[in-house]
Structure 1
C-alpha cells in the first residue's frame, strides 16, 4: 500500500486491472477485520487502500493477512491464486531489494515483521500466514466483493471508503468472525 500523495492525479489515470484487484484485496480483507478506509485507489503504476486510522505495526496477524491479501487478490482476475514457491519468494525479495523498495513493499513489510518477531522460524510463520490469507480469499463472498470493488476501481480509479464499502457490503455484510490463528503471536 502506498501513500496517497505519491499517486498520480486522476487526469493521468490509466486503468490497471491487476492493481485494482490488489487494492480491492487489501480493502475487502481489511474491512472484514473491521478496519475502516478513507479511500481506495488504483492507477496504472500504483495504488493505495488508505486506512482511516494508522495500520497496526509489527507482526499483528491481521495486518500481515491484509498486506498479503493484496498480492493474492491479483489472481482473482485470472480465476486462480498463485502461492509462490520459495524460489519465487526469494526472487521477488531480491528484485525489491535491488530496486530499493524492499522496506516499502508489502512482502518486505511482512517478512521484516516476521523476522523481527520469530527470527529463524519466520518462514514457517510466513507459510502459515499464506494459508490463513488463502482461506479467506477462497470464500466466494470475499472473491465477489473483491471483483466488485476492483471493477469500479478499473472504471473510476478512486473510491471513497464509503463508496467502496457500499459496493462490497452486499457480499460481505458484517465482519469476519475469526479466531486468532495458532501461528499468530
Structure 2
C-alpha cells in the first residue's frame, strides 16, 4: 500500500467522533492526514461537539474535545493531496460558505480523487456541485440538499451504520457508520488491511 496524503476539512463544532476517529484510523494505517480550518493555522484547535440522541425530536449537542489543526489553511494546495475527508457536525453548514473550501472540494471532485463525507459533510459536496448523479447517504436532515444537488439519495438500505460508495465518493449518515464508512474509503484509497 502506498501511503496517501489526505486533507481533512474541519471547523468549530465539527462532530467530535467524525473528526477524531477517521483521523486516528487513517493515520494508524500509514496515511498522512492534514487537518485544516479556514482562519486557522497549524497549532490552533477547533472546538468539537458530540451529537447524541436521548429522546428529543433531533440530536442534542454536547461539548466535545479540542481537535488539533496541523496545517495552515491558507497554504493548502489541493494538487498535493490524494484524498479529502469531510466530517459532519455543524461545521459544514458554514464552511460551505467559504469560496476557498468550495474551490478545494471541486478540485477533488473534478479530478476524481477519493472523497469521504459523513453526516452533514455532504452539505459541502452539494455546495460544490459534486453530487449530481451520485448515490449518496447523509444525516437525514441533509437529504433534501443532496436531492436538490442532483444526488440519487436514499437508494441504499437505511441505517446509521451504513455507508455507500459511488465511484470516488464514500458517504455515511453518522458516526455509528465509522467501521463501514472507513472500510469502504480505505478500499477506494487502495489501502490493504491484513486481518
Provide the TM-score with structure 2 as the length reference: 0.28
Question: Higher strand fraction: Structure 1 or Structure 2?
Answer: 2
Greater relative contact order structure (CA < 8 Å, 6+ sep) = 1
Question: Higher helix fraction: Structure 1 or Structure 2?
Answer: 1
Provide the TM-score with structure 1 as the length reference: 0.29
